[in-house]
Structure 1
Amino acid sequence: MTADSQPVWQPPAIAALDPATEAGIRARIDGKAKPPGSLGRIEELALQLGQIRHPGEPRGDNAVLLIFAADHGLVEEGVSQFPAAVTVGMVMTYLAGRATANAFAAASRVEIRVVDSGVAAELPHHPQLIDAKIRLGTANAAREPAMTAQEAADALTRGARIAVGEIRNGADIVALGEMGIGNTASSALLLHRLAPADLDDCIGVGAGQDDIGMARKRAAIHKAAARSQATAPLDVLSEFGGLEIAMLAGAVLGAASQRRPVIVDGFITTAAALLAIRLCPEARGYCVFAHRSAERGHDIALAALDATPLLDLGLRLGEGTGAMLAVPLVRAAARLITDVADLQDVLAGNI
C-alpha cells in the first residue's frame, strides 16, 4: 500500500485521567461514613469513576449493552464446532429477548442494542438493531487479509459513533458484548500480535471443541499467523480481526472520548480493548474489566493491560453476560461518592 492509499482514520480526542485529581477524590471517599478501605475494590472503582467524570459527579443509572455481531471467514477452516449460521440465529434471539444476555440485562436494568457489524446475511429491520454492516463477514484470514485497511478504519469509526450516540441519548455506562462464530480465533491472533504473546497460549476452546477440533483450530490459526507478520495495531486488525472486534475497539474509544466508563466483558472484548488501547493509550483509564473469563488467553490479555477484573465466576459465554453482572457494582461505586454521608456530618448530627 502506498502512502497515498492509507486508510482515513482519525482517533477521537481522549483526555487521559488526570492523576492530580486522585488525592482529592480519594480523600472524599475516605471521609465517608465508614472505615477507610472497608469497601475494598469498590473504593478503587469509585476512585476511577470519580476521575472519569471529574469535575462532575459519577452517575450509573442509565446503562446500555452494545452487542456487536459479525461473521468470520476463518470458520471455513473449521475453527468452530458451530456453523456461521448460528451468528444470525443468536442475533435474532437477542432481538426476541430470549438470550442469556437479555436475561442478565433485565436483571441489571440495562438496555440492549444489537449492532450488525458484518453478519453474513441481510437482517430484517428491528427497533433494537443498529445496521452498521461493513460487509457480509470477513474474508478467510488463513488465506488473505480479513478485511481491507479502509474497512478496518470504517469499522472503528462506526463503533465510536455508536457509543457516542448512546451517551448523547443519556447512557452513563457503556457495556460491551459480542457475537460471532469463530471470533475467539480472530481474538487469539490479535492478542498474539498486540500483547505480544506466544500464539499457542492465546488459543482456547471457544464455544467448545474436542481434541480433533482443537487441532484443526490451532492449525488454521497458525496458518493465518504465518501468512502475515503484521504488528502495527491497524495492520493486525485488517489482517486478522473481526468486524465486531473492530467496532468494539471503536466503542471503547468513543466512550472514552465522552468521559464515560466502558465495561469490558470477556476474552473477545478484552482483545478489542487491547486493540483500542494500543491505538490510543489514554483510553485505558476508562475501561472497567468485568470478569476473568475461563477462556484460555484472557489472563494474558488482562496482564497486558495491567487489569484486575471485578469478578471471577468461570464464565466464557460472551454476549456481554459478565459485563451485565458487573453493572450493579459500577452503580454502587458511583453512589458511594454521591449518596453516602460524610463521617463528619454523622458525628455532628447533620444528617
Structure 2
Amino acid sequence: MNINNLSDIATLANQLPTVDGAAREAAQQHQNNLTKPPGSLGRLEELAIFMAGWRATSRPDIRMAQALVFAGNHGVCAQGVNPYPQEVTKQMVANFEHGGAAINQLCRANGADLSVIALDLDRPTADFTQGPAMSEPETLDAMNRGVAAVDPAADILILGEMGIGNSTTAAALASALFGATPADWVGPGTGSDAAGIARKIAVITKGLALHGAKSPMTILAALGGREQAAICGAVLAARKRRIPVILDGFICTSAAATLYAADPRLLEHCLVGHVSAEPGHRRLLDAIHQRAVLEFDMRLGEGSGAALALGILRSALACHNGMATFAEAGISEA
C-alpha cells in the first residue's frame, strides 16, 4: 500500500476491507452457546466478536501482537509550549530502544513486539504559527513510513507516540477538526503549569486563525506532526490487512481522528485502549463515537494505555476460545 496524495484518503473507505458479517454472526452464536448466561461477560464478549469480524474468523487468536511507537519533533516548540527541550524526544527513543520505558514493560507483560520509529528528529516540523507544519510531500512521506512499519503477520496492532510538544499539536488538530475552543482541548501534557497552558491556548488560537478551514488531511499537514501522520498511515495499512488496531491516548487518538473526519468508516477497525487523564481525550472520544477499553487515569503516551488494553483483549479471546459450550460440558440449557 502506498499513499500518493492527501486528497485520495477520503475515498479509501470505499476500497478497503469491511467487517466480515458472517464471522461476526458465527462468533456471536458461539458466545451464546458458552457456559454462561448470554452477555454475562459484558465488554469481553463485544471485544471477541469485534476481533472475529475483522480477522474474518469465528475463533480469532492473537499469535503476534505488534506495537509501534512513532517519534517526532515539532517546530511549534519555538513558542515555548513545553517545559522540556526537544532533545528529550531523542533521549526517550534511546530509552525505548534500551528497554527502560513503561511501554517496554507493558509490551513484555502483555505479549507485544515493540518497534520504535524515529522520524527525522533532527529536523522538526515547521512552526504552525508561521505556516503549515508540513508540506504535502512531507506528510505523505511520514504516512508511508507508518504504512511500511506495519507487519502483515500481526493479528493486532498497538499504536503510540513520543514527541515533545505533541500535546499542543493534538489539541490543535482536535479543535480544527471538531470545533469548540482551544481551551476545551488543552491540558498539561508533560507538566505545563497554568501559565504554560495559557501559552498553549494562545499558540493554538493563532495557528487556527492562520490556517482557517481546510479538509481533514490538510489540517493534519498544517497543524500535526510526523508521528501523527505516521499513525494515520499505520491505521490505513492495518485496515488493508484486516488487522485491528488499539489506539493509545489523546495524541494518538487525535491523529487517527483526522481519518475519522475524512470518513468515519476509516476507524471502524480501531479500538481506543484507555481514556487519558488529558482533559481533551474524553471529549475527543465522544466526537469520534468511541468507548475506551480502560480508564486508569494514565496520561503517559508511548502506547502505554493501548498495551495495557491488549491484556484485556487477550483475556476476551481466552474466554471466547477456551470456554466449553453447554453441549461440551454436559450442562443443561435454560
Does the TM-score normalized on the shorter chain lie above 0.5?
Answer: yes
Matched position secondary structure for 1:150: helix
Does 1:306 find its partner at 2:293?
Answer: no
Contact kept in structure 1, 2:182 and 2:201, CA below 8 Å: no
Please tell me the residue identity of whatever aligns with 1:150: P
The alpha-carbon deviation at position 299 of structure 1 amounts to: 0.8
Matched position secondary structure for 1:249: helix
Does 1:146 find its partner at 2:144?
Answer: no
For 1:183-198, what aligned pairs fall within 5 Å after superposition? 183-198=166-181
Matched position secondary structure for 2:268: helix
Q: 1:72 to 1:140 in 2, by over 3 A?
A: same
Match of 1:104 among 89, 103, 106: 106
Alpha-carbon deviations, 1:193-219, whole Å to 9, x = none? 222333220111111111221222211
Question: Which runs of no fewer than 5 residues in structure 2 stay unpaired?
Answer: none
Amino-acid identity (%): 36
Please tell me the residue identity of whatever aligns with 1:54: A
Please tell me the residue identity of whatever aligns with 2:134: M
Corresponding residue for 1:271? Answer: 254
Please tell me the residue identity of whatever aligns with 1:27: Q
Distance in 2 of aligned mates of 1:212 and 1:300 = 23
For 1:24-63, what aligned pairs fall within 5 Å after superposition? 24-55=26-57, 57-63=59-65
Distance in 1 of aligned mates of 2:141 and 2:264 = 20
Please tell me the residue identity of whatever aligns with 2:116: V
Distance in 1 of aligned mates of 2:8 and 2:61 = 29
Please tell me the residue identity of whatever aligns with 2:192: Q
Corresponding residue for 1:238? Answer: 221
The alpha-carbon deviation at position 240 of structure 1 amounts to: 0.3
Corresponding residue for 1:93? Answer: 95
Matched position secondary structure for 2:278: coil
Matched position secondary structure for 1:141: coil
Contact kept in structure 2, 1:9 and 1:157, CA below 8 Å: no
Distance in 2 of aligned mates of 1:96 and 1:55 = 37
The alpha-carbon deviation at position 14 of structure 1 amounts to: 1.7
Contact kept in structure 2, 1:7 and 1:153, CA below 8 Å: yes
Distance in 2 of aligned mates of 1:31 and 1:56 = 13
Structure 1 stretch 10-19 or stretch 270-279: which is displaced more?
Answer: 10-19
Alpha-carbon deviations, 1:158-201, whole Å to 9, x = none? 212211xx1x2x32111011000000111111111222333220
Contact kept in structure 2, 1:197 and 1:300, CA below 8 Å: no
Contact kept in structure 2, 1:192 and 1:198, CA below 8 Å: yes
Distance in 1 of aligned mates of 2:315 and 2:112 = 15
Alpha-carbon deviations, 1:278-333, whole Å to 9, x = none? 33533322111110000011011101111111111100000011111111111122
Does 1:155 find its partner at 2:137?
Answer: no
Q: 1:106 to 1:55 in 2, by over 3 A?
A: closer
Alpha-carbon deviations, 1:45-96, whole Å to 9, x = none? 1111111112464121321210000000010001111111110110111111
Alpha-carbon deviations, 1:220-242, whole Å to 9, x = none? 11111111113311210111010
Corresponding residue for 2:164? Answer: 181
Matched position secondary structure for 1:309: coil
Corresponding residue for 1:84? Answer: 86
Structure 1 stretch 270-279 or stretch 258-267: which is displaced more?
Answer: 270-279
Corresponding residue for 2:272? Answer: 289
Distance in 1 of aligned mates of 2:58 and 2:28 = 15
Q: 1:79 to 1:259 in 2, by over 3 A?
A: same
Distance in 2 of aligned mates of 1:290 and 1:281 = 18
Please tell me the residue identity of whatever aligns with 1:33: T
The alpha-carbon deviation at position 18 of structure 1 amounts to: 4.4
Distance in 2 of aligned mates of 1:199 and 1:313 = 25
Number of aligned residue pairs: give it: 325
Distance in 2 of aligned mates of 1:312 and 1:68 = 23
Does 1:209 find its partner at 2:211?
Answer: no
Contact kept in structure 2, 1:246 and 1:272, CA below 8 Å: yes
Q: 1:106 to 1:20 in 2, by over 3 A?
A: closer
Structure 1 stretch 316-325 or stretch 15-24: which is displaced more?
Answer: 15-24
The alpha-carbon deviation at position 342 of structure 1 amounts to: 1.5
Distance in 2 of aligned mates of 1:267 and 1:343 = 42
Distance in 1 of aligned mates of 2:269 and 2:79 = 36
